[in-house]
Structure 1
Amino acid sequence: MVKRCFLISEQSLGVPVEQIGACVQHGFMAALQARGYRADAEQQRAIDTLARWLQNWSTGRRGWLRKPAAGVYLWGGVGRGKSFVMDAFFAAAPLAAKRRVHFHAFLQELQQRMQAFAGHPDPLVLAIRALAQDIRLLCFDEFHVHDIGDAMLLRRLLDVLVGEGVGLVMTSNYAPAGLCPNPLYRDRFTPAITTLENRFTVVALDAGIDYRALPGSEQRWGDYVWPHSAGGLAYLQTWLGLDEQAASEQVLEVNHHSLRVKAMAPGRAWLEFSELCGNAHSTADFLWLLQRCPRLALSGVPTLDSQPTDACQRFINLVDIAYDAGATVLISSESSLERLCRGSPHQDFARTRSRLSQLRVHELHVSEGIGHGAGGVIDKEF
């Protein structure tokens, strides 16, 4: 009689390990059918790779004289189905100790965990090991590197998680070699690139169907209003539901520094671009704000090619965090969305532009007694 092997109860939903790959394949097909999609060859190859990897990794199966792959790294341009494939994989993976996390939220959690080990040698490693005790499979969305702090942290994060036996699935807009283009600190990140290229199965998902362009796939997560001078203020106040009970011109203390808010009410806030993105606010500040105010209005957004790189980076981070958190946003500007996005040199802006394109665009026209205040409204697609 052949003994059947099961994953331990804390990590399993009761599925025999020999059926894990089939579970992933069936889950992917169900996700496709639910949306009326059909996978192209690139997406099917990606899910086949993920199913095969999870099957082999769960059983400890490896090649001759080779360690099993530590995970799968999916990369490609925006709209090619990376997140869809990973979400379907994550939902179908029959493991209880699994997490899907976004880049910024994960780094904040890691930094918070480090506080518990203050005064100990190497609190970062201790925090990562503590986190690894609760996770068997980690799906890491939007993996990218922007500064020396990220480079150093992610390099050690990969080393420790792989060493602790945590399975990793990551999506990125960049191939491993393109993750850290800044020559000032690329050398320090090179070991992490080597780990990704040598210990992970790297899958390019850079061709085929653009899921975001399919009919019915729109994910409208907010509004874009322009020009602000044609009635944007009244539109914004109505959109936020601000009344005489709303607090105006507040200065909040966030992570040991001030954050100026134009107006706020329970779950809602209005800020200026010059404050939120023009000043030195961190992703931790954005997370703090959106956790308390998931309905956010941002006014005074300028054309991005007129802004310094650090302000553009903060805007990109804000869009990423709000989008991933399921927040609802209103962006108000004097310029059309097309003009606002034109000419941005930032390497990550293709993803941001794609997400902004999913906002409902309202072009305001000055006319008596029409629309909100003095502005009539015309809805347009970007």
Structure 2
Amino acid sequence: MLLDTFYNSILEDSDLTLRHKRQHFFDFMREIHERMQNVARDRWPDLTPVEIVANTIADETDLLCLDEVAVVDVQDASILPRVLEILSLRGVTLVMTSNSRPNELFAGGLNRHVFIPPLLRALEQTCVVVDYRKVSDTPGKWAGSRYYHPASSPSVAAKFDGDFERIEGELFQGPWIFDLPHSTTRTLRGGQYKLANSQLRGVIVDFNSLCGKECGEADFSALADHFKLNNTVLFIRDVPVFGQLDGLGSGRRFGKLVEILYDKSIPVRILASNTAERIFAPISNSQDAIEELIGDEISVAARGAVLEASCCALDRSVSRLFEMTHVSDE
């Protein structure tokens, strides 16, 4: 969202003549590897394939925006530092987003101790790192939060219910609380769900009704499509802190739900046991918990990539929750 806003502002400014490009990081690295296969070494005998491709990109680009930087492949880890160095030396402006801090990249990767120091040096020399999620600490920046915690506080729960009443008050005497809203019943892979009446602008759903059962991505996507069609605000109450073992399944499902709601721009309100960072902390801070998510049936090399992806997914859920539930006063 942040990168989209920045890049769109560049597109809208007719006075700028920058040669600009926006790519997902995965696509960017795939393009580099493909170009490396086709470089004409005889034209630049003193350069490596990585240097040739990086210089070619610099010849074509003034501004490069890369979204969701996540180093999960040892080949990417080995060539990325040199790519960043050359782009910087050639004057290319880089704007990148990531769900991981620089020192968390390539977590669990093969021979990480060899590849991460050059990458960190390259990032330090070419970038200014800003954790924009922490901007909420700035006084007066945010007009309000729609993420309510702790759920155990009667006053906090009352604010959550009051938010619901303000949305629904003119439509019916409420609030109503139900496992899933009444009216239309639809059968999905995870079971039967009663979907919201099309007249209702807001529905309250208990966390266990959504993520406490074996629901899949298709289920969440269908529910989100229904809420979007009816302009429904989704209120999710009693989101717990996910334990290292017993919370793995529900935590993973909640993360997937958050991702889908974010992608489909479904307005949400959350009543949770703790902050977004802390509800995922027992999982994200536990190597054993992440290993449990991954399983045993993959190679050592692939394990590092999946570990990085799993950590990024948890960080992304925290970031998405913050964006979805905070209202800027600007």
TM-score range, shorter chain: 0.3 to 0.5
The structure richer in strand per residue is 1
TM-score relative to the length of structure 1? 0.39
Query: Relative CO higher for 1 or 2, CA cutoff 8 Å, sep ≥ 6?
Result: 2
The structure richer in helix per residue is 2
TM-score relative to the length of structure 2? 0.44
